[in-house]
Structure 1
Amino acid sequence: MTEANALRILILCTGNSARSQIAEALLSTMGKGRFEAASAGSRPAEQVNPFAVSVLAEAGIDWQGRVPRGTDGLEREHWDFVITVCDRAKESCPYFPGQPLLVHWGMPDPAEVVGSDEVKMAAFRDTFTTLSRRIESMLALPIAELEPAAVAHHLKEIGTQ
């Protein structure tokens, strides 16, 4: 699959500072050529969480200089999939034309963990590992060969891993 026909995926969360940024980075890296990823937040934070940038750097992904963004304008773009990674984003998910497949991969917000930097970094590593595992499972799906209902079923199941 070339980048011209890559599937477009939007990952949503509330602040677009942690989970959705990590998911975008992983999809952009692991799914290069197959997927075009973007992320946004229903109430974007002022900056990407430094622990998210650090956990991505540990994996060799340079995410410096990224800025959280809102959903304004994105609802007018074509998306094949819209994945929410927190309950609040699922509840405030805007309408996207073209009937993208909406999937919820809820998970705890590592930015809400209280404790030392080591404890916080461990939470971000857990988030990274969970999202990495889910994205690996997504990449293993023969999406082009499956009916939309089957893709939806598999992606929803992946969200429980």
Structure 2
Amino acid sequence: MNVLFLCTGNSCRSVLAEATFRHLAPPHFQVMSAGSHPTGFVHPRALALLKQEGIATSGLHSKSWDALPLVPDIVITLCASAAGETCPTYMGPALRAHWGVDDPAHATGNEAEIQGAFQDAYRIIRWRIETFLALPWGELKQDRSRLQAALDHIGERVA
């Protein structure tokens, strides 16, 4: 099962999701992140947060959805602009879900408020990934409509 986390810039939320998913998922899942218009860098606060959580950051980089090593089975968008974009045709029959999360890279305020925005985004992403991984995969792998409904339901909830 190949899972793609997608944002426009692929510098913060989708990278947080990729690293967290890789950290938590069993080996039969493959995970990637990408952006439709990648920034070319990973936000330093996202990297610092992952390290603080004990999650490996090696190999993380901002990349285009045109350069994916695998065709995704599931595409999860984390920002509204990526959710509204047309995915490349090679993604074909991939299931798509939107798990919108406010972009902490645009947070303003004092240091504690900005750090809080990153913590909130991470908490939501991690909870949704944990919920995703706890799904009854033996049943859902064979029922795309139930899997789609489960993915959509996860995106509607916040933790």
The corresponding residue for 1:81 is 74
Kindly indicate whether the alpha-carbon contact (under 8 Å) linking 1:56 and 1:63 is maintained by their aligned counterparts in 2: yes
The corresponding residue for 1:104 is 98
The corresponding residue for 2:62 is 68
User: Which amino acid in structure 2 is aligned with residue 114 of structure 1?
Assistant: T
Distance, in Å, in 2 between the alignment partners of 1:111 and 1:11 is: 17
Number of aligned residue pairs = 154
1:37 aligns with 2:31: yes
Q: 1:48 aligns with which of 42, 45, 56?
A: 42
Instruction: State which drifts further: 57-66 or 45-54.
Output: 57-66
**SS at 1:102 equivalent:** strand
Distance, in Å, in 1 between the alignment partners of 2:40 and 2:147 is: 34
CA apart distance, 1:8:
0.4
Kindly indicate whether the alpha-carbon contact (under 8 Å) linking 1:51 and 1:120 is maintained by their aligned counterparts in 2: no
The 5 A counterparts of 1:1-161 are 7-64=1-58, 66-74=60-68, 77-95=70-88, 96-146=90-140, 147-161=143-157
Distance, in Å, in 1 between the alignment partners of 2:72 and 2:59 is: 25
**SS at 1:15 equivalent:** coil
Distance, in Å, in 2 between the alignment partners of 1:52 and 1:21 is: 8
CA apart distance, 1:115:
1.9
CA apart distance, 1:154:
0.7
CA apart distance, 1:83:
0.5
**SS at 1:103 equivalent:** strand
Moved segments of 4+, more than 3 Å: none
Q: TM-score under structure 2 normalisation?
A: 0.90
Instruction: State which drifts further: 62-71 or 143-152.
Output: 62-71
Q: Which runs of 5+ in 2 are unaligned?
A: none
Q: Which runs of 5+ in 1 are unaligned?
A: 1-6
Instruction: State which drifts further: 145-154 or 96-105.
Output: 96-105
CA apart distance, 1:98:
4.1
In percent, how many aligned pairs have the same letter?
37
Kindly indicate whether the alpha-carbon contact (under 8 Å) linking 1:42 and 1:93 is maintained by their aligned counterparts in 2: no
Distance, in Å, in 1 between the alignment partners of 2:14 and 2:111 is: 21
Kindly indicate whether the alpha-carbon contact (under 8 Å) linking 1:84 and 1:104 is maintained by their aligned counterparts in 2: yes
The corresponding residue for 1:4 is none
Distance, in Å, in 1 between the alignment partners of 2:76 and 2:91 is: 15
